[in-house]
Structure 1
Amino acid sequence: MPRLATVALAAGAALLLRRAVRSRMRSAPLWPLPALETPVSGYGRGATVPRRVLVTGRAVPAEGVVELRLEGERLPAWEPGAHIDLVLPSGEVRQYSLCGDPARPDVYRIATRLIGEEHGGRGGSREVHEQLHEGVEVEIRGPRNRFPLTAAPSYVFVAGGIGVTPVLPMVRAAEAAGADWRLVYCGRSRASMPYLADLVRLGGDRVTVVAQDESGHPDLGFLASVPAETAVYCCGPEGLMAAVTAAMPEGRAPRLERFSGPAPAGGTAFEVELRRSGRTVAVPADRSVLAAVREEVPGLMYSCTQGFCGTCVQTVLEGEVDHRDELLTEAERADSMLICVSRCAGRKLVLDL
């Protein structure tokens, strides 16, 4: 995959700065942040500056799950819910939630479950499991946070399988702050659920374990009566998040963190004018803007192709966008789009390319 270009880095830094300023105006995070650096909550055009880190530890917290300990110099501080971009040996980039201790800025911990292609895997988890061992140096970008934990008197956390990784530091933060909290932790079996023993030890009967091979699916009916001041967080498979959303009181929504992009939706053909290049590209109904534009601009940067990482974000000069990403704020959508997933809501878009 192409390296970061100077122009993209400059644009990314500008957008990150705007996002960071806005984030400081929101409600204060619950976690007491380290004093080394201010965590950045936003995304940007392209990625943040790459950093080299060393794999200094490897563990197996559950069947099919590998945890990596990553160490480097002056790693940025982070808040519960944050993730990093991990550049794999192949050059592909994957996003992994940080599941360690935010008070240890010199050490990052991530965990990933091995997912085969037959279950929708794209090869990233296999690279982690097979190629990243102690002593291997890798590149990361971030951390960034689209799933921040904000101050609340009480919390309900719902995690499914490897979706516990961003929830783990949240639960620890809630406990440290003396907040009331409850966790519903779901998985195929107890053996497949990472950090289960740690969470039960921390929360006791506040942790409801739902192992599918023992008790089927979780009963989420209690969410219908969750008080307004209780913040509800969920990370896990799409089915679990849909169930949590459906169980919430009318007019309320949980805070969600997804593993993968939204399911592809239908669309129509349209044109994209590349204003600076002076070219117009036809985008068929069954192709993404990214795929079509890269035929004219081969060096265009991209990464996740699922509307998560922000690498392919472009400025929209004209036209109405059908936004399908999980990343940009409403303000940013006024003049930007992620061309890997979003489309034109009309007949033509004009991009600053």
Structure 2
Amino acid sequence: MRHDRAAAADDQRPEQPSLLAALDVGGTKIAGGLVGPDGELLHRVQLPTPARESAEAVLATVHRVLDLVAEHPLAAAVRAVGIGSAGPVDIRRGTVSPVNIPGWRDFPLRDAVAEHPGVKGRPVVLGGDAVAMAAAEHWRGAARPYRNALCIVVSTGVGAGLILDGRLHTGPTGNAGHLGHITVDLDGRPCPCGSRGCIEGLASGTAIARAAREAGWRPAATVDTAATRDTADASAAAVAEAARAGDPIARQAFDGAARALAAGIAATATLVEIEAAVVGGGVAQAGELFFEPLRRHLADYAALPFAAGVTVLPARLGTDAGLVGAAALALDAPTADAPTAAAPTVDGR
């Protein structure tokens, strides 16, 4: 009889928290959301980042996003919070120094989030935004079938994260896999990171647009004057449109970017024997205009048998990757009796 009463009491206990809260911090927007234990994004809010304002103003926006997440009826079921931030980051200290948020240098973001009333008492896990993307794609996206993969974001910059032996490998500070700052052109142009000839300076959307302009490409304008050239769309997306229309300079700009990225993927494959490279970000939206030369150049650079044959895939999660990946970082945060789902384990060794 006592056993039956104990079983009945167990049935009446409230369910253990099972959701994850996520925060995605970038120079353009700060997003927050709720993610289920299976990786489904259940709720999303977003505010613009006051990137040129004070550190306090940016933090106030983070807190407002957290307020909005906490107002959702499901928020009480949150067991941990994950943060994916533009970097560099330092996961040991919980700090961030985003290049595109000048007011934050060694900013203690993890502690600042942990002090929010809607977060207090819950574990908070910090990671870089590209590492979060890798966690998301391994959990729910294109990298899911692979135990060893490089997941790359090619946008205004170039970032990446590594999946090694089925685990997310962050490195001690959280910056392992930072592909964008591998040198592939020994005599290349100086990079803001302090080196030169970095992949980011050759393969990013910014680099594609610059390479096209320097080679003589000009965006289409109704009247070809200095004024219209100044206001016409000279972005990588405009270069992609011109390339699809057959412009040889625009096509060469994409080919050069793909070649630089292929060299970086081949170097990674040689070092750690990855099986797949998953590519997302704005430049990947160019589709085969970018992926065809990327695969072709990769076949040239990854020549050794153990490095050859890397599968190149487009990322699947799109704009959801930041929040899903931030949540994935917090999956293994230690909470009592909390359910978990199969996903990459953060490995900082």
With structure 1 as the length reference, what TM-score do the two structures score?
0.30
Q: Larger Rg: 1 or 2? A: 2
Higher relative contact order (CA 8 A, sep 6+): 2
- The structure whose residues are more often helix, as a share, is 2
Name the structure where strand makes up a greater proportion of residues: 1
Task: Give me the TM-score of the superposition, normalised by structure 2.
Answer: 0.30
